[in-house]
């Protein structure tokens, strides 16, 4: 069993690590404080080929594998979660449905702009009454005179309301016991986007409520066969969990990095606090758990790249790294002491950004349900 990264994967990791350190880190605190979307960084990420990393070159992507994509998301999250989720939601949730289930005509129409980062894509699944129970969607779409007329709303949707947002793929009931997915272009009459939602963390990412009132979507925007939406979004969520697991690893690594550096600087009782066994043991535990979380995540990505079943491994990775990032952010802030509670220290931002990793893309409880099902329970 070869656990080494390929030269191409190492190049992606190192390139994104350098970009995150040199371009994201200097502005991350400011973007968070101002709740400002990172347009310039997204443009540069697009130029690097990172907004369509796993999309084939024939559709304008970089043609990278899932392992490379997971490494890229980890490195971005290590510095800033808002930038990372912008890339992850655009790629895994917004662009992937069109690549996986779209017709050739739909792929040619949408993917080049999305894979280049010229336009952003979103995925509208969650509703006010349909969170963990995603199949409880109440948004409807009725076929009338060559158009799907959509009525309903979506909640907590990432990337739908920026100046460069191009489309959102939404789940809707196209029959009494039938869910389908539809691509809705930004600017479509009857499609309304709320003001940005105020959040605990991820403040520089775009999160909105979407409303549809007599919104006429061309019949040709149906994604895949009618009635396949439920199975489609389950597959999308399986893949998306790899990217969120990578975010969990990245945030844990970032929190560890901050705690390690601070422990080597801070003095108490006449010596660096890194000399105290209590601090050493915390850092030793974190370093060990981060390696385990990274291995789980890359294993799921590796299985996906080989066309093998990966849903169980993705759920395990997402569950483990979500809880790991919680411990890492908490322990790192504890090591920082009172200074960690101040917004001028980066750990306070990581602490706030962490919690959503245990909620989005399926809560910890949902992951345990998925894992139990795969175990045959």
| pLDDT given for residue 43 in this prediction | 98
Mark whether 21 and 107 lie in a shared domain.
yes
The whole-angstrom separation of Cα 35 and Cα 10 is: 32
pLDDT digits (tens, 9 = 90+) for 255-309: 999 999 999 999 999 999 999 999 999 999 999 999 999 999 999 999 999 999 9
Within 8 A by CB and 6+ apart from 47, the residues are 117
Which of 44, 127, 361, 365 does the annotation list as catalytic?
A: 361
Mark whether 85 and 190 lie in a shared domain.
no
Residue 1 maps to a domain: no
Backbone φ and ψ of 170, nearest 5°: -120, 150
Task: Work out the average pLDDT over 197-207.
Answer: 98
Q: Which SS3 state, helix, strand or coil, does residue 308 take?
A: coil
Cα–Cα distances (Å) from 39 to 49, 280, 369, in that order, read 15, 40, 37
Per-residue pLDDT at 112 exceeds 90: yes
pTM of the complete model: 0.97
121 falls in which pLDDT band (50, 70, 90)?
A: very high
State both tokens at 64.
Answer: 């990278």
9 falls in which pLDDT band (50, 70, 90)?
A: very high
Per-residue pLDDT at 1 exceeds 80: no
The whole-angstrom separation of Cα 53 and Cα 62 is: 5
Task: Work out the average pLDDT over 152-159.
Answer: 98
Instruction: Please answer whether residues 358 and 327 qualify as being in contact, where contact means their C-beta atoms are separated by less than 8 angstroms.
Output: no
Per-residue pLDDT at 142 exceeds 80: yes
Mark whether 39 and 113 lie in a shared domain.
yes
Mark whether 269 and 329 lie in a shared domain.
yes
Mark whether 116 and 130 lie in a shared domain.
no
Percent of the chain with pLDDT over 90: 97
| pLDDT given for residue 359 in this prediction | 97
The whole-angstrom separation of Cα 139 and Cα 268 is: 58
Task: Select from 86, 120, 154 the last residue of a domain.
Answer: 120
2 falls in which pLDDT band (50, 70, 90)?
A: confident
Mark whether 14 and 115 lie in a shared domain.
yes
Mark whether 85 and 133 lie in a shared domain.
no
b/e per residue 102-121 (b: at least 16 CB within 10 A): beeebbebbbbbbbbbebbb
Task: Count up the domains in the chain and report the number.
Answer: 3
Within 8 A by CB and 6+ apart from 199, the residues are 207
State both tokens at 7.
Answer: 């030269």
Residue 294 maps to a domain: yes
Within 8 A by CB and 6+ apart from 273, the residues are 263, 266, 267, 279, 335
pLDDT digits (tens, 9 = 90+) for 232-270: 999 999 999 999 999 999 999 999 999 999 999 999 999
The whole-angstrom separation of Cα 329 and Cα 171 is: 34
Mark whether 246 and 112 lie in a shared domain.
no
Mark whether 366 and 250 lie in a shared domain.
yes
Task: Select from 103, 120, 137 the last residue of a domain.
Answer: 120
- Closest C-alpha to 77, from 311, 361, 321, 296: 321
Range of the domain at 162: 121-226
Strands 147-158 and 207-218: antiparallel
| pLDDT given for residue 49 in this prediction | 97
The yes-or-no answer on residue 192 being catalytic is no
The whole-angstrom separation of Cα 312 and Cα 372 is: 9
Instruction: Please answer whether residues 190 and 145 qualify as being in contact, where contact means their C-beta atoms are separated by less than 8 angstroms.
Output: no
Count of H-run helices and E-run strands, the chain: 12, 9
Mark whether 108 and 130 lie in a shared domain.
no
Mark whether 112 and 139 lie in a shared domain.
no
134 falls in which pLDDT band (50, 70, 90)?
A: confident
Task: Work out the average pLDDT over 18-47.
Answer: 98
Residue 165 maps to a domain: yes
pLDDT digits (tens, 9 = 90+) for 326-351: 999 999 999 999 999 999 999 999 99
């Amino acid at each position: 069993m070869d656990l080494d990264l390929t030269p191409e994967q190492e190049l992606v990791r190192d390139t994104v690590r350098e970009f995150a350190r040199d371009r994201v880190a200097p502005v991350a605190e400011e973007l968070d404080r101002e709740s400002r979307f990172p347009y310039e960084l997204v443009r540069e990420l697009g130029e690097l080929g990172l907004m369509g990393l796993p999309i084939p070159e024939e559709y304008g992507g970089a043609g990278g594998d899932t392992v490379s994509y997971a490494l890229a998301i980890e490195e971005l999250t290590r510095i800033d979660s808002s930038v990372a989720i912008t890339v992850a939601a655009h790629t895994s949730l917004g662009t992937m449905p069109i690549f996986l289930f779209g017709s050739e005509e739909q792929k040619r129409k949408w993917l080049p702009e999305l894979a280049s980062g010229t336009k952003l894509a979103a995925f509208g699944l969650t509703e006010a009454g349909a969170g963990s129970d995603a199949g409880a969607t109440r948004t409807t779409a009725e076929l009338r005179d060559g158009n799907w007329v959509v009525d309903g709303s979506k909640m907590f949707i990432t990337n739908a309301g920026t100046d460069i947002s191009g489309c959102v793929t939404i789940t809707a009931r196209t029959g009494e016991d039938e869910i389908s997915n539809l691509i809705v272009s930004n600017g479509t009459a009857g499609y309304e986007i709320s003001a940005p939602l105020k959040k605990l963390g991820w403040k520089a990412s775009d999160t909105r409520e979407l409303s549809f009132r007599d919104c006429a979507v061309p019949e040709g925007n149906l994604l895949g066969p009618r009635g396949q939406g439920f199975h489609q979004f389950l597959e999308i969520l399986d893949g998306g969990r790899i990217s969120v697991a990578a975010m969990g690893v990245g945030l844990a690594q970032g929190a560890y990095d901050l705690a390690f550096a601070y422990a080597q600087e801070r003095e108490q009782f006449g010596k660096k606090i890194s000399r105290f066994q209590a601090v050493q043991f915390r850092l030793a535990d974190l370093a060990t758990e981060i390696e385990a979380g990274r291995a789980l995540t890359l294993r799921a990505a590796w299985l996906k790249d080989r066309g093998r079943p990966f849903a169980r491994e993705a759920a395990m990775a997402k569950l483990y790294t979500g809880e790991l990032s919680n411990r890492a952010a908490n322990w790192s802030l504890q090591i920082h002491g009172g200074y960690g509670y101040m917004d001028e220290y980066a750990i306070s931002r990581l602490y706030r950004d962490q919690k959503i990793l245990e909620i989005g893309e399926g809560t910890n409880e949902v992951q345990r349900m998925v894992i139990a099902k795969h175990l045959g329970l």
